[in-house]
Amino acid sequence: MTINVHGTAIVVGERGLIFIGPSGIGKSMMAFTCLAIARRSGAFSALISDDQVFITQQDGRIVANCPPSISGLMELRGSGIVKMEHVKSAPLDLAVQLFSVPGAERLPPENECWQIGTIGRLPLVRIASSASDPLAIIGALMPAWRQETAFW
């Protein structure tokens, strides 16, 4: 089974992240920011897929795949489409839900997860779409990840 998700998936270090949220919230730009921060710190980072992410389950892991027609392409809204270093697919470790600050809950539910149909679920963190250093926020919310690399 494959589920087509409207989102952006990337790999940072050895972790797969998928950015989800309503259209126009800034998923691509947030993912691009994470890729740039990781690169500047000397860590591996690559796009999996932007806009459409095909989600499957393989060997007990949730895996993001890119449709061939958009491989390596990322839309930076208002700026254009750019070619990015990319991988065809990678396991996912975390879902990042973007939200706009006005009207947002102060504290989200603890141990929140994102259910992906019948494929499975991923731990979920919420990050304001206006955040300037999303990797620092992920590191604060996922302390075990901080020990892996300096950019968390």
**40-53 confidence digits (pLDDT tens):** 999 999 999 999 99
For the chain, give the mean pLDDT.
93
Task: Confirm whether 133 is domain-assigned.
Answer: yes
Measured CA to CA, the distance from residue 52 to residue 42 in angstroms comes to 28
Indicate which CATH number applies to the domain containing 28: 3.40.50.300
Residue 151 inside a domain? The answer is: no
What pLDDT was estimated at residue 59? 93
Does residue 110 form part of some domain?
yes
Share of the chain residues as helix, strand and coil, in percent rounded to the nearest 5: 20, 45, 40
Kindly state whether residue 152 falls inside one of the protein's structural domains: no
Into how many domains does the chain fold? 1
Q: Are 10 and 93 in contact (CB under 8 A)?
A: no
Structure-block tokens of residue 136: 């620092």
Instruction: Note the pTM of the prediction, 2 decimals.
Output: 0.94
Provide the domain limits for residue 30: 3-146
pLDDT beyond 70 at 152: no
Identify the helix (H) or strand (E) that includes residue 83: strand 80-83
Round to whole Å and give the CA distance between 138 and 147. 13
Quick one: what percent of the chain has pLDDT higher than 90?
A: 83
What's the whole-number mean pLDDT along residues 31-59?
A: 96
Q: What percent of the chain has pLDDT over 70?
A: 96
Specify if 137 maps to a domain. Answer: yes
- Per-residue model confidence as pLDDT tens digits over 79-130: 999 999 999 999 999 999 999 987 777 788 889 999 999 999 999 999 999 9
